[in-house]
């Protein structure tokens, strides 16, 4: 796994853990209380702030909800000084079908012009977390076009609160690079 992808993963993890802690302190709620667009904005802002460290280049423009002329907009597009584009789709909770739809949308972009990532914030109970159905379905269905972003082939997991559930849940940060 390349260092840019790992730095992106670490940045995303830092943002969602920081926001989770802040939501817990302010409202006794966790990361799943935030709307997906708010999380996307916060991650985009942090990637821009750390652009030279992560990408070895400044980000000239960044756009949440940006269309690249191919139908529906992408959740986040970063354009570097060298015109390289980093394109992200994010899902909070949702279904494996919606994950696969976004992965296929990203896969259609030209890989010579775009670095493409799909990120899922998966809500589940701790004992299920590594084998959540959404993760296994995505990897079984899209295995040839995705690659886990991980140092050790595992996803980062942290405990959080879910306003819709009584029991403790975890957030699994699933990040895949799309080929």
The domain limits of the chain are 3-178
Residue 129 confidence (pLDDT):
67
Q: Which fold, 3-178? A: Trna Endonuclease; Chain: A, domain 1 (3.40.1350)
114-124 and 85-92 beta bridge pairing: parallel
Looking at 56-116, list the stretches that DSSP marks H as alpha helix, in order from N- to C-terminal side.
Answer: 96-107
Size of the chain, expressed as the number of residues it contains: 179
Please list the pLDDT of the chain residue by residue as tens digits (179 residues): 689 999 999 999 999 999 999 999 998 889 999 999 999 999 999 999 999 999 999 888 999 999 987 678 999 999 999 889 999 999 998 999 999 999 999 999 999 999 999 999 999 887 766 678 999 999 999 988 999 999 998 899 999 988 776 677 999 999 999 99
Residue 78 confidence (pLDDT):
96
Residue 131 confidence (pLDDT):
78
Buried b (16+ CB within 10 A) or exposed e, 120-139: bbbbbeeeebeebebbeebe
Instruction: Assess contact for 5 and 11: CB atoms under 8 A.
Output: no
State CA 98 to chain mean position distance: 14
Reading the block at residue 47, the tokens are 């990637």
Tell me the pTM: 0.94
């Amino acid at each position: 796994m390349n260092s840019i992808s790992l730095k992106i993963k670490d940045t995303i993890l830092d943002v969602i853990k920081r926001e989770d802690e802040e939501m817990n302190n302010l409202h006794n709620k966790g990361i799943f209380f935030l709307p997906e667009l708010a999380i996307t904005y916060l991650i985009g802002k942090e990637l821009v702030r750390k652009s030279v460290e992560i990408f070895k280049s400044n980000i000239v423009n960044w756009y949440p909800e940006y269309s690249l002329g191919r139908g529906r907009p992408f959740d986040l597009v970063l354009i570097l000084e060298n015109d390289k584009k980093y394109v992200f789709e994010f899902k909070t909770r949702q279904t494996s079908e919606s994950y696969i739809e976004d992965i296929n949308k990203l896969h259609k972009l030209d890989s010579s012009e775009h670095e493409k990532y799909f990120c899922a914030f998966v809500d589940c109970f701790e004992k299920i977390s590594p084998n959540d159905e959404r993760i296994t379905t995505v990897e079984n269905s899209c295995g040839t076009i995705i690659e886990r972003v991980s140092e050790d082939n595992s996803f980062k997991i942290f405990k959080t609160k879910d306003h819709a559930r009584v029991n403790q849940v975890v957030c699994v940060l699933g990040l895949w690079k799309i080929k």
